[in-house]
A and B are shown apart, each in its own frame.
Chain A
Amino acid sequence: MSIRAENLVWKVGAKTIVDDVSLIAKPGEMLGLLGPNGSGKTSLLRLLAGLKRPLSGQVTLDGQNIGRIRRRAIAQRVAFIEQHATTNANLKVVDVVKLGRFPHRSMFSGWTSDDDAAVNDALDRTELTAKRNDTWQSLSGGEKQRAHLARALAQSPKELILDEPTNHLDVHHQISLLRLVSQLEVTSIIALHDLNHAAMFCDRLLVMKSGKIIAAGAPEDVLTRELLGDVFSVEAHVSPSPYHARPHIHFVR
């Protein structure tokens, strides 16, 4: 396993946000995290990225408790993309992507050709090469999101944690981002709202409700009519897609 969570509990005040969650992400798989708003997806992702300490339970990276690993060592292998990260500094796109090299550089080391290669590759993969010298404030919402992905890729992660990365993206960029993530040789854990996209691209799905994981498994096992009614309160028909064989969800008007 690469990331493993054991009985995670996280509370804000008296309210339990993440309630006894255990999961395993296998190396190289793309793990989709579904659930309605407020079901605890973001908090769970933060715990998995080691940004918050669980009240009880633990997160392990290759068997080692993440709370005992130095922040820099975590950042050398785990990249995290927040939902609404923005800035008032007018950085260039390339400067934002270069931030991803931060954990790999010591305080004194200069900029190396490896760093350059990682940044150029990340810009290339996210279709931002032409925009590398544009300033942050001039980017559209979708370009900002892709710049964040490029920054995360420049981090050369083994594990990639993404919190609703397709928000604000048009459908072309939603699909290309998900395709890109699914083709990366990294373990990715991704919170998504679009169930059809999740079914198409993720190897496995987890479904959260009120802080608990209530279903886990392959998309065709998880995305059932009963579950959609129970968790999302929608009426829907689920059938295998004639185009990609993964489940496709038709919502009933």
Chain B
Amino acid sequence: MTTETIRSSSGRQPRHLTVAAGIILGSLVAIALVVGISVGIGDMPIPLSTTYSAITNRLGWTMVQLNPIHETVIWEYRLSRALVAVFCGAGLALCGAIMQAMLRNPLAEPYVLGISAGASTGAVAVVILGIGAGAFSLSAGAFAGAFAAFLFVALLSNGARGGADRTILAGVATSQLFNAATSYIVTTSGNAQQARDVMFWLLGSFGGVRWPEFWLVSIIVGLGLIVCLFYARVLDAFAFGDEAASSLGIDVGRTRIILFALTAIMTATIVSMVGTIGFVGLVVPHAARFVVGPLHARLLPACAVTGGVFMVLADIASRTLIPQQVLPIGVVTALVGVPFFSIILYKLQRAS
């Protein structure tokens, strides 16, 4: 039996690698394709081939003559927007997957910790109350607010010592508190236009993002993905709860702090750039789990890819569903996500 096991495992290894390489390649092609489509859509339609040439030109691989207006639109506006959408979707989905594993709750996502609520309060405080007297941007305010919320949750849930349920309760309480603060500021201090602007920002938009945002979010989410992958097996070991994880040799308190801080950093970065986009963190991990199973070494990359593609598609939908008008991205993710989620729930129910 032993020789057979060795032979089969050594024979399996190269095939595994080929399959893995194929899947990675396929994922990259899928992402490139939706990004290309996204870049092509807008007031000025741009064919996929033009986008492709514009990129290869810039990389110095080709010297195709292109319409300079097209090139400007691609480089200055649409490509950065589409790529930011990829990383935001990937980041939110990863955060959802981590939190669902650590809190052992299928409803957990970054917003359960109240991080988005904190970001909103921070943004509103900067925009309406003028805190920081112009020294802070809306993003900086949102980032500070998100972290304040995270620390508040950590305090309420007694650091790492509180259990999973306690963390969720602390998150719900924090959300309520910060949402109330946001509403209070908007209703007492803002004028109608400011309230509308804040509302639009809160529901998420990729409208303002350019290359600086791309670099920041790609580095944060990229590093986040690498760290998560190191913790893939640890997340698996949380399947039976904190005590079981601890008896398998995991420092539960330290792991929880590291991974929650990681989700807080990713979420805060994303929310401060594009507003609070709900539902991606909740729905994508479930969809991915349905396809690749619960083991995190596969689930986490699957979440990153699915989340990225889903977000770009949602961005395309937000720009095309209603002519001449851009819908808030959060509205699209929920409108598309809920029916999709219902299908998964229905299928899961039948499977069990």
Number of interface residues, chain B, beta carbon within 8 A:
27
Contact B2 A71 (CB under 8 A): no
Kindly report which residue of chain A lies nearest to residue B7, judged by CB atoms.
Answer: A113
Report yes or no: B237 in contact with A89, Cβ–Cβ below 8 A. Answer: no
How far apart are A124's CB and chain B's nearest CB, in angstroms? Answer: 9
Among candidates B243, B249, B295, residue contacting A72 with C-beta atoms closer than 8 Å: B249
Q: Residue A90 at the B interface, CB < 8 A?
A: yes
Q: Assess whether B233 is interfacial by the CB under 8 Å rule.
A: yes
Q: Which residues of B contact A (CB under 8 A)?
A: 1-2, 5-6, 9, 101, 104, 106, 230, 233, 236-237, 239-241, 243-244, 246-251, 293-295, 352
Q: Can you spell out 25 A-B residue pairs with CB atoms less than 8 angstroms apart?
A: A71-B249, A71-B250, A71-B251, A72-B249, A72-B250, A73-B249, A75-B248, A82-B241, A86-B240, A89-B101, A90-B293, A90-B294, A95-B236, A99-B236, A99-B239, A102-B233, A102-B237, A102-B249, A102-B250, A105-B233, A113-B2, A113-B6, A116-B5, A117-B5, A137-B352
Other A-B contacts than A113-B5, A116-B9, 13 sampled, CB-CB below 8 A, are A46-B243, A75-B247, A85-B243, A87-B240, A88-B104, A91-B236, A99-B236, A102-B237, A102-B249, A102-B250, A105-B233, A113-B6, A116-B5
User: Is A51 in contact with B249, judged by CB distance below 8 angstroms?
Assistant: no
Contacts A89-B239, A102-B233, A107-B230 known; A120 to B5 CB distance under 8 Å?
Answer: yes
A79-B247 contact given A113-B9, A117-B2, A120-B5, CB 8 Å threshold? yes
> Given the known A-B contacts A111-B9, A113-B6, A113-B9, are A85 and B244 also in contact in the complex, defined by CB atoms under 8 Å?
yes
Q: Which residues of A contact B251 (CB under 8 A)?
A: 71
Cβ-neighbour of B247 out of A49, A87, A90, A92 (below 8 A): A49
Verify B9–A89 contact, CB threshold 8 A. no
- Nearest Cβ distance between residue B253 and chain A, in whole angstroms? 10
Question: Does any Cβ of B come within 8 Å of A142's Cβ?
Answer: no
Known A105-B233, A117-B2; judge A89-B248 contact (CB<8 A): no
| With known contacts A91-B239, A91-B294, A51–B247 Cβ distance under 8 A | yes
A103 to B237, CA, bound (A): 10
By a CB distance below 8 angstroms, the chain B residues around A49 are 247
The digit string for A90-130, where 1 denotes a CB below 8 A from any CB of B, is: 11100110011011010100010100110010000000000
Instruction: Please provide the 10 A-B residue pairs with the shortest distance between their CB atoms, ordered closest to farther.
Output: A75-B249, A103-B249, A72-B249, A80-B247, A89-B294, A85-B240, A87-B239, A102-B248, A89-B239, A113-B6
Give bound CA distance, A181 to B101, whole Å. 32
The CA-CA distance from A72 to B230 in the complex, in Å, is 16
Interface residues of A (CB under 8 A from B): 46, 49, 51, 71-76, 78-80, 82, 85-92, 95-96, 99-100, 102-103, 105, 107, 111, 113, 116-117, 120, 137, 155
Give every chain B residue within 8 A of A76 (Cβ-Cβ).
249
Interface of B is mostly: helix
Chain A residues within 8 Å of B2, by CB: 113, 117
Residues from chain B with Cβ under 8 Å of A87 in the complex: 104, 239-241
Smallest CB separation, B255 vs chain A (Å): 10
Given contacts A91-B239, A137-B352, whether A100 and B5 have CB atoms under 8 Å apart is: no
CA distance A131 to B237 in the complex (A): 20
Give complex CA distance A139, B352 in Å.
Answer: 11
